[in-house]
Amino acid sequence: MTAPAIVTRFAPSPTGYLHVGNLRTALINWLFARRHGGRFVLRLDDTDLERSKPEYARAIREDLAWMGLVSAEEVVQSDRLDRYAAALAALQASGRAYPCYETPEELDLKRKARRAAGKPPVYDRAALKLSVADRAALAATGKRPHWRFLLNDEPIGWPDAVKGVIAIPPGTVSDPVLARGDGRPLYTLTSVVDDVALGISHVIRGEDHVANTASQVQIFRALGAAPPTFAHLALMLDKGGEGLSKRVGSLAVRSFREAGIEPMALASLLAGLGTAHGVIAKTTLDELAARIELGEFGRAAARFDDAELRALNAKLVRGLPFSNVRDRLAKLGLGDAPEAFWIAVRANVAAVNEARDWWRVVTGPVAPVIEDADFVGQAAELLPPGAWDDTTWTSWTRAIKGVTKVEGAPLFKRLRLALTGLDHGPEMRALLPLIGPERVKARLAGRAA
Domain with CATH 3.90.800.10 in the chain: 83-179
Burial of 33 (0-12, 13-18, 19+ CB in 10 A): buried
CATH number attached to the domain at 83-179: 3.90.800.10
CATH architecture of the domain 238-317 equals: Orthogonal Bundle (1.10)
Of 359, 374, 368, 358, the C-alpha closest to 444 is 368
Contacts 24+ apart (CB under 8 A), 339-346: 340/430, 340/433, 340/434, 341/434, 343/430, 344/426, 344/427, 344/430, 344/431, 344/434, 345/426, 346/317, 346/318, 346/320
Instruction: Give the separation between CA 356 and CA 361, rounded to whole angstroms.
Output: 9
Domain with CATH 1.10.10.350 in the chain: 373-444
| Average pLDDT, integer, range 391-399 | 97
Domain with CATH 1.10.1160.10 in the chain: 238-317
| Position 302 confidence tier, pLDDT thresholds 50, 70, 90 | confident
CATH number attached to the domain at 7-74+189-236: 3.40.50.620
Question: 61-73, pLDDT tens digit by residue?
Answer: 999 999 999 999 9
Class of domain 373-444: mainly alpha
Question: 150-168, pLDDT tens digit by residue?
Answer: 999 888 899 999 999 999 9
Instruction: Give the separation between CA 326 and CA 344, rounded to whole angstroms.
Output: 14
> Taking all residues of the chain, what is their mean pLDDT, rounded to a whole number?
94
The pLDDT of residue 180 is above 80: yes
The pLDDT of residue 1 is above 80: no
Question: 319-362, pLDDT tens digit by residue?
Answer: 999 999 999 999 999 988 999 999 999 999 999 999 999 999 99
Q: Residue 203's beta-bridge partner residues? A: 230
| Average pLDDT, integer, range 26-47 | 97
Instruction: Give the separation between CA 28 and CA 427, rounded to whole angstroms.
Output: 41
Query: What was the pLDDT predicted at 170?
Result: 80
Instruction: Give the separation between CA 244 and CA 250, rounded to whole angstroms.
Output: 9
Question: 119-161, pLDDT tens digit by residue?
Answer: 889 999 999 999 999 999 999 998 999 999 999 988 889 999 9
Instruction: Give the separation between CA 358 and CA 361, rounded to whole angstroms.
Output: 5
Domain with CATH 3.40.50.620 in the chain: 7-74+189-236
Contact present, 231 and 275 (Cβ < 8 Å): no
| Position 248 confidence tier, pLDDT thresholds 50, 70, 90 | low
The pLDDT of residue 246 is above 60: no
Share of the chain above pLDDT 90, in %: 89
